[in-house]
Structure formats: C-alpha cells, structure tokens
Structure 1
Amino acid sequence: MQKRGKKTAAASRDEKREQKIFQALAAAPRRAILRHLAASSLTAGEIASHFTMAKPSISQHLAILEGAGLVSREKRGQFVHYALAQKVLEPCLAGFLQDVDMTGRATPAPPEDEKPAGPRARGAARSASTEKATPTEPEADAGPAEKPAPAQMSMF
C-alpha cells in the first residue's frame, strides 16, 4: 500500500471541503439564507422570519452551512448571530469558475477524435460544409413537423 504525500492529502482535503460547500449550496433555502446573511449578520429567529418553514428546519440548514464553513456563528448575550463567511465562499467559487474555464478565455476546440459522431454531429458537419442559410430561409430538406403521438399529448 502506498503512502499519500502531503500534497495529495492536502488536495484530498480541499476536494472534500469543496464537496461540502457545493452540497450546502445545492438546496434553495440554504442559498436564500446566504443571500440574507450577505446584507448583515442575523440571529436564527431573524433568519426564520424570512421563511415559512419551521424553526428546527432553519436550524438544520444553518448547521449544514456552518459545517461547510459558509457561515460563522458568534454568541452575543443570549443570542447566536450568524454571518456569511466570504473568505470561504469566494475562493471556492472562483476556483470552480477557473476549473470550468468561465474566466473569459477562449477554450480550445476538442480534437477531431473527441467530437461526437452521432446524427446531429454529422448533420452539423454537412451543413457547415454547405452555404449558410439566412434565418428567414427554411431549410430545403426539412420535412413537415411531426405531430406528437396521442400518448405524448397533454390535457393541460
């Protein structure tokens, strides 16, 4: 069995942290909580006043956000105030955007052997080799539109 190096262990920890962050961001109520916390820190009761769900559900969402490191908590007297942890969220999202190359740089075209060879790809290659039609011109080989089968029709 091989030992993992320090870099591999750190990368694994970072991946696990990213996974927790994206799992926390997957639920719409948690994203809404983060939007509310972006303006200022709030108590659990103040956060709950923005939602129609039960307070224990809000507490559960806050625990998930806190576990992912997206929210920090501070006890002030008898109340716990929650705040957005921007130092965690911003680098994670920026790193994700960089990973998927959404930074504005042009992405290179995939090599020819990686392009799909399905009917759409063959049709696209065929139409690319012919002269482009103007948007108002109908395609010559396009037949009449097919009607959906009765089982596909909706009553509403």
Structure 2
Amino acid sequence: MAEITHPDAPPTARFSYENGWADPEQENQPPELWDRLVIPIAEQVQDLGEPVDRPVFGGADGSEPFNSFGGMQDVYFQDELFTAVWTAVFEDEEGVKKAYFFRAVTFTEEVVAEWEPIVYAEADGLDFNQVSEDAADRVRELAAEEGWTECERC
C-alpha cells in the first residue's frame, strides 16, 4: 500500500485502492488488510509470467495502468463477510493472460476462503467486459458453494 500511495506514484497506481478499498464513504477497509492480502497475491503473480504494459483484451489506449486492479467485490451482510478480487495481466509462453484472485474476508478481517486464481487468455477472443462479467459470476458461484447466497451489495 505504501508504494501505490506514495506521493511520487502515478494516480493510476492507487486508483483501485482508493476507489475499491479505502473510500471512507463506501468500502472503508484498512491499509493493513490490503497489504496482508495483496503481498501473497503479488508473489503468485511473479511466478505466472511477465507483467504486460499495453492495453489488453480489447482495452483502449491508455488503459494499461489498469492491468492490475483490486478491491472489494460483493458484501454478504447476513454472513458478515465480503469477497475481494485482485487482477493481474501477464504474459507467459502461451501469450497474454489475466488472472483473477478471489478472497472472502469477514468483517473482523479474517480470511475464510481463498480460491485458486481464474485465468483468462487474450487469445480466446474475450474483451475486458466479458472477462470482468464472467469473473464476477464465478466469484458469486464460489461464494454460493460456501453457502453465502444473500449478497446484498453485488
């Protein structure tokens, strides 16, 4: 979190943190929890391939800063937890891919579910909207498998 909110970091580096995690009027999650969740994901991403610094999945010019993104996804108030997602675009020997990392976190900051990343290949021809919608559906399916079905902020 310190890297992406550093005064010398570009605004795009902290966009998802500020707008999908720490907005005091909405998510209002602590920076320590962000770090606790993001650091292991960043280590996993390094093993997947090289980061990609160009628009992907049909994205417009200038969208490459959003090749990594993260924050809260859905809130299950009855179960006192939320799902969170982080994405990373990378290139391996098969081409450009986008990985989605999902976690379920209680309101007391305990990680109660951590699922294997879901990976989409750019070569499959899906655009960024299709990939995003499919990933949102997939995390809701995973939550339902855990018995969390009363999503109140989806």
Q: Is this a same-fold pair by TM over 0.5? A: no
TM-score, length of structure 1 as denominator length? 0.23
Higher strand share: 2
**Structure (1 or 2) with the greater helix fraction:** 1
Task: Tell which structure's C-alpha radius of gyration is larger.
Answer: 1
